[in-house]
Structure 1
Amino acid sequence: MNKNIQAEIKNQVALINLNRPDVFNSFNREMAFEMQDALKNAAQNTEVRAILITGNGKAFCAGQDLKEVTQPELNPGFKAILEEHYNPIIRLIREISKPIVAAVNGVAAGAGANIALACDVVVASEHAAFIQAFSKIGLIPDSAGTFFLPRLIGFQKASALMMLGDKIDAVEAERLGMIYKYFSAEKFEEESIKLVEKMAQMPTKALALTKEAMNQSFTNNLDEQLALESKFQIEAASSKDYKEGVNAFVEKRKPKFEGE
């Protein structure tokens, strides 16, 4: 039974909670594998139509548990940490054909910040903060930080944040476009759940195609992206959800989408 990751399904949403609050939900090897399993299970479960990742306690995730890398008997080595722990998590987040929301409840540092930023939508509590903490201990950003952060907020700002290791609060993160929006501490949990449950009731086949189109936009040129949009739009237009959406619009009623 998992102890470092808590996972449950509620209202067609897979709720994945990082659960090492005593060490600010920092990752060790065991937790990384549990996280991968939780994501794979959510991807394969036909009941699940959206995924929410958040943290238990005061922090979202402080990144790598430094205790693991400073004790020789525990340290798997950086090659294993990246290739077996974090890189598979980032790939799963981007490859899973379901919308994934990161609800950042507190500090998100290092790999913890970059796992959040790899998600489709990021919301945060007003008490959240984002830190590219790597440079403070002589490392470089990993977990796709050098990939996503410049695309979110621009080259200059991302370069400065990664090199200086400045802490960015939720207000500034929203202003920069690093996250979708922030909520007051009192409404954070309620609003986060409301948002992901709304996504679970949307035409999730179309959302999956949107996600894949955005993934491919990172490497496509304009003509390739236009061709991909055409292909995916034809596929979306043949779905049950498209027919339901059109019928509901004509009949002036709320659509009931099934993700098919």
Structure 2
Amino acid sequence: MPYSKYDSLSIAIDNRVATVTLNRPDTLNAVDGTLHHELATIFWELGDDPAVSVIVLTGAGRAFCAGGDLKWVKGSIETPLPFTLMMREGKKIVMGILECPKPIICRLNGDAIGFGATVALLSDIIIAVDTARIADPHVRIGLVAGDGGALIWPQLIGFAKAKEFLLTGNSIDAKEAARIGLINYAVSEDELDATVGRFVKQIANGSQSAIRYTKQAVNIPLRQLVASVLDCSLACEGLTTFQNGDLREGLDAFMNGRKPNYSAS
């Protein structure tokens, strides 16, 4: 498969293992329009690639993903793209991860924020370096946590804890995330590759048909939730993007290092 077309993703395939690296280290792998589009296609392509049995998803540099690139977000307000296009791409990313028959192991090499947290948490096995933080701070800049956070957080840690983090935007450290079941493991930096490698080897050497069909069966409720939760949450995110001033205020406050002053309504 021709993966050289990807600009913001680095794809390496070795011994039936595809390593997908978010490759914008200068921005802490923040998601811009190019990376958003590429994430919407890569999991579908790897799912169809007969040379791949397991996918390892990670980030370049010191972060996994800092969430949406705020310059891109601001640009989407000033020069709006058709919302249906962004919504379709967002849905394709979520469904690409859930529908991909190959197990996806997230090697969480650093902080996973916002949409970065969503992508990580949708993965099948999540192994984080113990210094990483996970957060979905959409509300802090005046946005709905609509790009998958409202879908996956409650399924992993229950509604009460999920609402605590989604309504405040507070972060959770990797050790606590592992303790409450948000991720699988939090390990030291020295142990990260060995721990990921252990699961990669076991899955790659296992019965591929049994493993793939098991993933598909386990993910049935999540795929059903896409229709009932994700479509609505993406639409709500669109409303906060285009129909009130809180996002403009939140972005301006964040970029200028001040406290936002949101409307009361």
User: What is the TM-score when the length of structure 2 is the normalising length?
Assistant: 0.77
- What secondary structure sits across from 1:98 in the alignment? coil
> 1:16 offset after TM fit, Å?
0.1
- What secondary structure sits across from 1:60 in the alignment? strand
Structure 2 counterpart of 1:155, from 153, 156, 159: 159
> 1:80 offset after TM fit, Å?
4.9
In structure 2, distance between residues paired with 1:72 and 1:209? 39
- What secondary structure sits across from 1:142 in the alignment? coil
> 1:76 offset after TM fit, Å?
4.6
Taking only aligned residues, the RMSD between alpha carbons, in angstroms, comes to 2.0
Matched, 1:205 2:201: no
Matching residue of 1:145: 149
Matched, 1:51 2:55: yes
In structure 2, distance between residues paired with 1:199 and 1:127? 26
Structure 2 counterpart of 1:191, from 192, 195, 202: 195
Contact 2:22 2:65 in 1 (8 A): yes
Which range is displaced more, 27-36 or 118-127?
Answer: 27-36
Structure 2 counterpart of 1:61, from 65, 84, 88: 65
**Bigger radius of gyration among the two:** 1
- What secondary structure sits across from 1:70 in the alignment? helix
* Inter-CA distance 9–75: structure 2 relative to 1 (3 Å threshold): farther
> Which residue type is aligned with residue 167 of structure 1?
S
Structural mapping, 1:165-180, within 5 Å: 165-180=169-184
Contact 2:130 2:186 in 1 (8 A): yes
- What secondary structure sits across from 1:139 in the alignment? coil
Matched, 1:21 2:31: no
May I ask how many residue pairs the two structures share in their alignment?
220
Contact 1:111 1:142 in 2 (8 A): no
Q: Which runs of 5+ in 2 are unaligned?
A: 225-265
In structure 1, distance between residues paired with 2:82 and 2:169? 20
> 1:125 offset after TM fit, Å?
0.6
> 1:218 offset after TM fit, Å?
4.9
Contact 2:111 2:132 in 1 (8 A): yes
Matched, 1:37 2:20: no
* Inter-CA distance 101–72: structure 2 relative to 1 (3 Å threshold): closer
> 1:190 offset after TM fit, Å?
2.9
Q: 1:32-75: CA deviations, max 9, x gaps?
A: 22223332331111110111110000110111111012136985
Which range is displaced more, 86-95 or 34-43?
Answer: 34-43
Structural mapping, 1:232-251, within 5 Å: none
Matching residue of 1:89: 93
Matched, 1:114 2:132: no
- What secondary structure sits across from 1:186 in the alignment? helix
Contact 1:62 1:107 in 2 (8 A): yes
Matched, 1:105 2:109: yes
| Percent identity of equivalent pairs | 32
> 1:197 offset after TM fit, Å?
2.9
- What secondary structure sits across from 2:56 in the alignment? strand
> 1:144 offset after TM fit, Å?
1.8
Matching residue of 2:262: none
In structure 2, distance between residues paired with 1:81 and 1:128? 32
